[in-house]
Structure 1
Amino acid sequence: MKKILTKLRYKSTLLLLLLISTTLFAQAQNTVVRGTVTDAKTKETLPYVTVVFAGSTQGISTDNNGKFTITTSNATYNQIKVSFVGYKTVVRAIEPGKEQTINIALGVDTRLLGEVVVKGGKKAKYRNKDNPAVELIRKVIAHKSQNRLENYDYSEYKQYERMNFYLSNLSEKFKNKRLFKNYQFLFQEQDSTQIGGKNLLPIYMEEKLSQNYFRKAPFTKKQIVEANKQVKYDENFIDNQGLSSYFNRIYQDINIYDNNVSLLTNQILSPIADHSPDFYKFFITDTLKDQSPNLIELSFTPRNTNDLLFEGKLYVTMDGNYAVESAELTVNKNINLNFVRQMQATLAFDKSADGKYHLSQSDLKMDFGLNKNKGGGIYGERKVILTNFAINTPRPKQTYDGPAQVIAQASDTKDDRYWMMSRPDTLPAAQAAIYKNIDSLQTIPSFKRTMDLVTLFVAGYKNYGPFEVGPVNTFYSFNPVEGFRPRIGGRTTPTFSKRYYLETYGAYGTKDQKFKYFLSSTYSLNDKSIYSFPQNYIRASFQHDTKIPGQELQFVQEDNFLLSFKRGDNDMWLYNDIFRLDYVHEFLNHFSYKVGFKKWNQSAAGSLYFLNGYGSLPTNSADINSSISNVNQLNTTEFSLELRYAPHERFYQGKLYRIPIIDKYPIFTLRYNQGVRFLGGNYKYENVTGNVNKRFYMSQLGYTDVTVEGNYIFGTVPFPLSDIHHANQTYALQLQSYNLMNFLEFVSDHYASVNLDHNFNGFFFNKVPLLKDLKLREIIDVKALWGGVRPENNPDNNPALLQYPVNDQGVATTHALNNGPYIEGSVGVGNIFKILRLDMVRRFTYLDNPGAPKWGVRALVKFDF
């Protein structure tokens, strides 16, 4: 028995030694490759990169830090292949049977995806029917709802964002110009094959760290900004807050699960939109079975390369989720998209604890230029990294209450150490220096002079430190009443005071030989510029000047030189003395209110007369005092309240106006005016106006801007205090005015109006040979106005009221809308030379009114992407 046990122990020992030696031998023959994959340009690590042994299906993906370890016992493998969407594939030699470290730097692949063509004896026609690629994308579409963030009851994550903008594609000659002699420290160099070219000049950078919460019911998305940092320019030159808003508008989050993806100022149909197979061609171009889950590479391209559509690749999981694991989106060179030379977006998704996939990283890069093939431009990149993703962990109710975005106190005061510890990736040294470099740049006198000239050219103001003179486009104008009208004016700047703001101008009419002037004083209640958001100030002003009744201009001065040219008769004007006292208070949620007091004295000017019903218009001006009862002046005193709510509104604050960055969100405005019979006022009335405007995006059919307005005046008022409908007698197209209506042609004491302006974004023109090469865009516009004058406000029924104006033949030129609505419409062609819109306008009603035009051509200069 003892001998048997001894033999068993001996055999077991031999077996164990054999196994150990075999294992050691196998380990000695294994090939082990470790390393880190980075972006060749930014030096940042790249997660989710595919690393395989060349010629095999054995591979892995890099981790969140870009690291990988891959092992094989097959001694025939002597290369590894590293690939990632949007980057050039790299193949590196390895030594079989050894452990080794190989770090890989991937360069961006700037080549665009070409249409896949299968060639045989006869060219195969692309079809959706019986196409496995289309069947696959339909499964992705069918599973969209379960893969969306909104599928969870609760979710939360930490988000890091970084935006960088550069002057791009700069030549060595440009870089070495004398102008940049002192700025060489700003230039950055990169691989010339990458987006933006070799030489870059940084002009802007912004970072933001936030905690984000989502609740399904009731629906809530909330962002708490814990830290933010941005390049800041002198407030006298640039609205930093508006600049940030503009960049964030054109570089929005890309949610590929939405039917439409916002890009620049447009919406582009997602490749996994519900009806994407009707607009895209899909091709299965690869399968990746060497990783878990298995992936299918699905390439796609537009059916019409001029349409606003993406092209690129999707990597779809084959684990039953049919989720997008990663994606590359770009655009075709023929797309009807202005100024965009190149665009590339890469998206990566991580698997959650429940096996679903959520976005973990996105990187959007775009290069802009006036010339798509050469010359300098602007290159911008927005990178977003999501970490600490958690699902179905409800927070206390107060976490979700309040505004959609909350800015933490002192969020903009975090130091460099905080950012270094908090960033989820490493900021390249060249980018980290941008903040300091731009600050240094602004201390250079030559840069200040350059910005001064740019501000004069763009905004129309010349800065003299505490005071700036302008706007220059109002220095000269002319009209039939005043003749030649020189004007000079200006205002104080924050250099003078951040609390007190003064503004003034003076003008003189060579024909009427009268001086006009304006004085304004504003006090800021929140120790911020009165032009910065949120506003909170008190303003007192007095104006003695002329005005055209019914002219309403947007983003332009009334005495702009170009508006001096008008069609038809334009000689009915007003002289005004207006004292105003206003209090404006805005809130961070973009609700605001304005309380005002206005004392207004107005007198007729030019061919306009204020005549009551006890006289009649004289046959010649010499008889005016003897044959009619002339009213020299109308005196009114008015209190007002305006409420405005513009959720998620973004804008750029210019020197004169806030320029809205139009988005899908509506804007609501309610105004109430109360006229009183004291403090010099002669009329008692109430005027209530409600206005809503909104942009509706319609995917491939473009977008529609809709404005709806209604008004009612309670009380008895003369026609100058009625609503004088906004007319336009210039040759410029005005979207919120009636372009074939004459000044003072229609008045109402109650009305409703709707304006529709639809831009097809080239949907039809893109299908027309030759025409599609011009990148034109078709537009239709319709305006309708219903209104009227109640009997008590009709001067035919009340002789005490002022009579409607008449021409020199005694024919009335001002009317009420008693015969149905006023309607006009236009068809237009936009994007002419990328900046011009021309409309052929047609008036459909009230064609018998004196001087009523039936047709007209109007132009609008507009920059669109």
Structure 2
Amino acid sequence: MSQPLRNILRQSLMLLSGLLFLSSSITIAQTTTITGTIIDGPTNKPLPFANIVFPGTTIGTTSDERGGYTLTASGNFTKIVISFIGYKSITKVITPGTSQTVTVKLEPDSQLLNEVVIRSGKRERYRNKNNPAVELIRNVISHKEQNQLGSYAYASYEEYDKLQFSLSSLSTKVADRKIFQKYRFLLNNRDTTTLPGKSLLPVYLEEKLSEHYLRKSPSTDKVIIKGNKRVDFGQYFDSNGLSIYLNRMYSKVDIYANSIFLMTNQFLSPIANSAPMFYQYYLADTLVVGKTKLVGLNFVPRNTTDMLFEGKMYVTLDSNFAVQKINLSVNPRINLNWVRELQIHLQFEQHTDGRYFLSRSDLLADFGVNKTKGGGIFGQRTLSYRNYKTDEPQPAPFYSGQPQVVEATAASQPDEFWQANRHDSLSVAESKVYTNIDSLKRMPSFRRTMEALTFVLAGYKSFGPFEVGPANTFYSFNPVEGFRLRLGGRTTPELSKRYYAETYAAYGFRDQRWKYFLSGTYSINNKSIYQFPQNYIRASFQRDTKIPGQELQFVQEDNFLLSFKRGVNDKWLYNDTWRIDYVHEFENHFSYSIGFKNWQQAPAGSLEFKRIGDADNAPSPTLTTSEFSVEARWAPNEQFFQGKIYRVPIVGRYPVFTLRYTAGIKGLLNGAYNYQSLTGIASKRFWVSPLGYSMVTLQGGYILGQVPFPLLTIHRANQTYAYQLNSYNLMNFLEFVSDHYASISIDHSFNGFFFNKIPLFKRLKWREAVSFKALYGGLRSENDPHTNPSLYQFPVDAQGIPYTYTLGNTPYMEASAGVANVLKFFRIDLVKRLNYLDNPNVSPWGIRARATLDF
């Protein structure tokens, strides 16, 4: 498993574990459960999307596309009310504290509708052709552009954003237990109105008030954040990183976009350009609001297991064909991990020019390890909009500069500001979250628990300004060092946000050598060096082993599981590396770095630096180089999974470009060669809902000058049993070298599109994935030791058989077919090497696995 992925998993598990710690020993309280079916009286057909509520409360639910419903809640409820637009409401008496079935027939009420659509009692085979519902949705699709704010030359609005998370299904008896007495102030702060049938304990709340200014040409979206307030868990979570992570999961929903990103998946919008191919639409009813006639349109997936929505929308019957209201949910059989329930409600209001703009968006999701019972986590993101203005431009200089501006007082706005500017008041339970969590994080028992979780899940033991770890590097082994022990640590922002230090020491019992690392970093902008935007200078020294071809990082973390490798793996390097690096990131996500490295390489294991032309054929002891490097990177709109002392880029829909130039200087600090190299990388994720997504990476490089094989491009091989996205998984270490190359890597996940249609795979919720990698490269004669005896000869094995090769006219290729979402955490690939099968110790087939984290 890669280090970035491990960090993502750790942060996610820490968040989940921290929340579930409070819900230990959760039990489900005595409840009233009502199930049944809602039926259209005249036709005896199921009636989807009818409302069922306990009268006098906000606890309720809606019937699904088959008319079925389940309503569960704790309380002394004796009645339920069933209603649907265009039908007479019915009240039914129930027995509290029991489970019972209530099936209801609703009769049309002509007084509620200005017009009623009469549906045939005979269900015909569904067709798009000559279907009035499909004709209506095609009109909605064709008018999408004019119904978006982007159609105006200028537009502005105010946005209020509220995100809250709660522990769900808490029993009222939990707070009475002796072990939880000290947490009574927190456990008694329940909300029983937000989610029907659930008792919620709010533990996280975030609010943001901002003004948005849009310009069509050139395209600009200027955001001014007026206020920003959120729960702070203290040292255990990075508040900014946690906010980005949660907002990423609960992304804003644009119904007019073709794809809607939720959790870690893309859903095809019911009004996407291709939506009629994947959805079925049914006319439900019509009504008049003011002077506007609306048509109700139900929609369901053609295949209930695809990443699609089901729900109902109301569309205006005017020249706009705009969505006036839409409710979205997902079928329980969808291949979505841990999500018990997902609902989205969007409301639109008419502007002065007749267009409809989004006025409110509610996204609700209930998570749980068990989809039917037990404790879980409930999250809700509510966005509301007001003060829409169109075609009122700001002065041209206003739109320049940073796209997002945070006012200096945004994070310190007083309670009076929020009381005056919230679009909706907080519930009683929500209003107590800020003070409750402040009290919680000061409790010694909570701090001890979080410190234990940090060590178990993140591998670090904190001692305030310094922490020891990571634990997964304490022990490993390899053919050169044998049994290897390592201990290290780093300072934290608690010691200083300006100065940082990191170190480790390791000892190999076979080679009986000490290895160590030491670095010091100065933050120029006085921010954590792990937070965006970075601006720091770092100096470091590292003495350690490495496998040729693997990039030497500041700290090359060992991992016990990665100690297991296939085939021959005895050609290593000892490295002494002095480095100094300057890194500068900008708010527009352009960054550059400048560095200098003095690198001394010595062969280890069976590797030798040996020249064919040497008279005594004696190997050279070391190779020293001194090089300067410059790297530029542009990652527009990039976001990060952010921790206190690490960050991992989030793969989004924007491309990432990297260009690196390196120059070796002969004679500088014993540098032995003059050379130059240029490397370019471009990567992008392409979404093709509902067929999943592809990650495509293009890379190329060129080396100018004459250099021995350790300074050539040693292509990234992988001899572990873990699948690595950026390596060739059936290539051997040191197998191929080049001084010029180009490569392409395509990894596509179908997200269960095909497996969901196979009964066994659908039950297991497996997801299919495929990949293809091709590498074209070559070696000029000046860098070929066979024509230049002064260069180090390519490595050979114990029998003198060549171990390292160059690529011919045919590119190296490998492909794989994989099954993802195995046990919800793993992807297993069957990898096939397609050519160069005559090289020694080649594995034409292999099974590789890696951990993933998807919803």
TM over 0.5: yes
- Report the Cα offset of residue 497 of structure 1: 2.1
Aligned-partner Cα distance in 2 for 1:463–1:611: 47
Aligned counterpart, 1:145? 145
Taking the aligned partners of 2:196 and 2:57, their CA distance within structure 1 comes to 19
Contact 2:161 2:382 in 1 (8 A): yes
Equivalent residue runs for 1:787-826 within 5 Å: 787-826=777-816
Q: How is 1:514-593 mapped onto 2 (pairs within 5 angstroms)?
A: 514-551=513-550, 558-593=557-592
Seen in structure 2, the aligned counterparts of structure 1 residues 273 and 817 have a Cα distance that, compared at 3 Å, is: same
Pair 1:832 & 2:796 matched: no
Counting matched residue pairs gives: 760
Q: RMSD value over aligned CA atoms?
A: 2.5
Query: 1:347-496 residue pairs with structure 2 within 5 A?
Result: 347-496=346-495
Q: Does 1:114 align with 2:28?
A: no
Contact 2:585-2:591 within 8 A present in 1 as well: yes
Which residue does the alignment assign to 1:205?
205
2:739 is equivalent to residue 740 of structure 1: no
* CA contact 2:57–2:193 (8 Å) conserved in 1: no
Within 5 Å, which residues of 2 pair with 1:699-778? 699-778=689-768
Q: 1:123 to 1:359 in 2, by over 3 A?
A: closer
User: Structure 2 CA distance, aligned partners of 1:557 and 1:108?
Assistant: 54
Q: Distance in 2 between matches of 1:194 and 1:653?
A: 30
CA distance in 1, matches of 2:419, 2:777: 63
Contact 2:54 2:60 in 1 (8 A): no
Q: By how many angstroms is 1:188 displaced?
A: 5.7
Q: How far apart are 1:108 and its partner, in Å?
A: 4.3
C-alpha separation between the residues in 2 aligned to 1:341 and 1:526?
44
Could you list the per-position Cα deviations for residues 238-257 of structure 1 after superposition, in whole angstroms to 9, with x for gaps in the alignment?
Answer: 22211111111121111111
TM-score (norm 1): 0.84
The one-character-per-residue Cα deviations of 1:393-420 (angstroms, maximum 9, x if unpaired) are 1221122223332222232121111111
CA gap of 1:246–1:362, structure 2 versus 1, over 3 A, is same
Range 198-207 or range 654-663, more displaced: 654-663
* Structure 2, unaligned runs of 5 or more: 1-47, 69-104, 106-117
**CA spacing shift, 1:635–1:445, aligned 2, 3 Å:** same
* Cα displacement string for residues 36-70 of structure 1 (whole angstroms, at most 9, x for unaligned residues): xxxxxxxxxxxxxxxxxxxxxxxxxxxxxxxxxxx
Q: Is the 8 A contact 1:160 1:386 kept in 2?
A: yes
Quickly say closer, same or farther: Cα 1:654–1:561, change in 2 above 3 A. farther
Give distance in 2, aligned partners of 1:524 and 1:346.
Answer: 44
Matched, 1:863 2:853: yes
Structure 2 residue aligned with 1:305: 304
CA distance in 2, matches of 1:351, 1:816: 67
- 1:280-333 deviation per Cα after TM superposition (whole angstroms, max 9, x unaligned): 111122222364312221111111110000011101112332211111011110
Equivalent residue for 2:660, pick from 671, 683, 688: 671
Q: Equivalents in 2 of 1:461, 1:312: separation in Å? A: 46
Structure 2 match to 1:640: 629
Whether the 8 Å contact between 1:86 and 1:346 is mirrored in structure 2 is no
Give the whole-Å Cα distance in 1 for the aligned partners of 2:177 and 2:740. 63
Contact 1:169 1:196 in 2 (8 A): no
Counterpart Cα distance in 2 of 1:573 and 1:483:
13
SS at match of 2:494: coil
Cα pair distance change 1:725/1:196, threshold 3 Å: farther
> For the structure 1 residues 587 and 754, does the alpha-carbon distance in structure 2 shift closer, same or farther, using more than 3 Å as the test?
same
Partner of 2:323: 324
Matching residue's letter, 1:185 = F
Partner of 1:214: 214
Per-residue deviation at 1:657?
4.4
Map of 1:693 onto structure 2: 683
Instruction: Specify whether residues 377 and 653 from structure 1 end up closer, same or farther in structure 2 by C-alpha distance, changes over 3 A only.
Output: same
- 1:563–1:173 Cα change, 3 Å: farther
Secondary structure of 1:701's aligned partner: coil
Residue 746 of structure 2 aligns to a residue whose secondary structure is strand
Partners of 1:144 and 1:711 in 2: how far apart?
44
Residue number in structure 2 paired with 1:45: none
CA distance in 1 between counterparts of 2:515 and 2:459 reads: 21
Q: Is the 8 A contact 2:245 2:642 kept in 1?
A: no
Matched, 1:157 2:157: yes
Measure how far apart 1:142 and its partner are: 2.4
Shift of 1:521: 1.2
Between stretches 682-691 and 402-411, larger displacement belongs to 402-411
Amino acid at match of 2:771: D
Which has the larger displacement, 259-268 or 187-196? 187-196
The alpha-carbon deviation at position 552 of structure 1 amounts to: 5.1
Distance 1:478 1:173 in 2: 51
- Aligned residue number for residue 245 of structure 2: 246
Deviation at 1:777, TM superposition (A): 1.0
Structure 1: gaps (5+ residues) = 1-83, 92-103, 616-625
* 3-state SS in 2 of match to 1:597: strand
2:638 aligns with one of 630, 643, 649: 649
SS at structure 2 position matched to 1:594:
strand
CA separation of 1:443/1:189 partners in 2, compared to 1, >3 Å: closer, same or farther? Answer: closer
Counterpart of 2:244 in 1: which secondary structure?
Answer: helix
Contact 2:549 2:715 survives alignment (8 Å): yes
Q: Secondary structure at the match of 1:818?
A: coil
Q: Distance in 2 between matches of 1:609 and 1:552?
A: 20
Per the alignment, residue 619 of structure 1 pairs with: none
Q: CA deviation at 1:476?
A: 0.6
CA distance in 2 between partners of 1:284 and 1:435 (Å): 46
Q: Which moved more, 1:118-127 or 1:355-364?
A: 118-127
Match of 1:124 in 2: 124
Q: Considering only CA atoms, is the larger Rg found in Structure 1 or Structure 2?
A: 1
Gap change, CA 1:277 and 1:292, over 3 Å in 2: same
Task: Give the Cα–Cα distance (whole angstroms) in 2 for the partners of residues 468 and 571 of structure 1.
Answer: 34
CA distance in 2, matches of 1:557, 1:633: 21
Aligned runs of 1:11-22 on 2, under 5 Å? none
Aligned equivalents of 2:553, 2:610: Cα separation in 1: 32
Q: Contact between 1:242 and 1:650, CA under 8 Å: does it hold in 2? A: no
How far is the alpha carbon of 1:789 from its aligned partner? 1.1
Give the corresponding residue for 1:510: 509
Task: Tell which deviates more after alignment, 130-139 or 599-608.
Answer: 130-139
* Partner in structure 2 of residue 25 of structure 1: none
Partner of 1:231: 231
User: Does the aligned pair in 2 maintain the 1:603–1:633 contact within 8 Å?
Assistant: yes
CA distance in 1, matches of 2:459, 2:846: 30
Please state how far the C-alpha of 1:171 moved relative to its aligned partner: 3.5
Structure 2: which amino acid aligns with 1:230? R
Q: Secondary structure of 2:354's match? A: coil
Q: Is the 8 A contact 2:742 2:775 kept in 1?
A: yes
Contact 2:830-2:846 within 8 A present in 1 as well = yes
Displacement after TM superposition at 1:383 (Å) = 0.6
- 1: CA distance, partners of 2:179 / 2:466: 27
Distance of 1:552 and 1:197 partners within structure 2: 53
Question: Partners in 2 of 1:646 and 1:407 — Cα distance?
Answer: 21
Is 1:246–1:650's contact at 8 Å kept on the other side of the alignment?
Answer: no
1:570-626: per-residue Cα shift (whole Å, max 9, x none)? 1100000011111112222222111111111110000100101224xxxxxxxxxx9
Task: Give the superposition deviation at 1:529.
Answer: 1.8
Alpha-carbon contact 2:603-2:609 (below 8 Å) kept: yes
Question: Is the contact between residue 734 and residue 804 of structure 2 (CA under 8 Å) also seen in structure 1?
Answer: yes
Does the 8 Å contact 2:59/2:195 carry over to 1?
no
2:837 aligned with 1:847, yes or no?
yes
TM-score, with structure 2 as normaliser: 0.85
Contact 2:229-2:411 within 8 A present in 1 as well: yes
**Cα distance in structure 2, aligned partners of 1:692 and 1:525:** 29
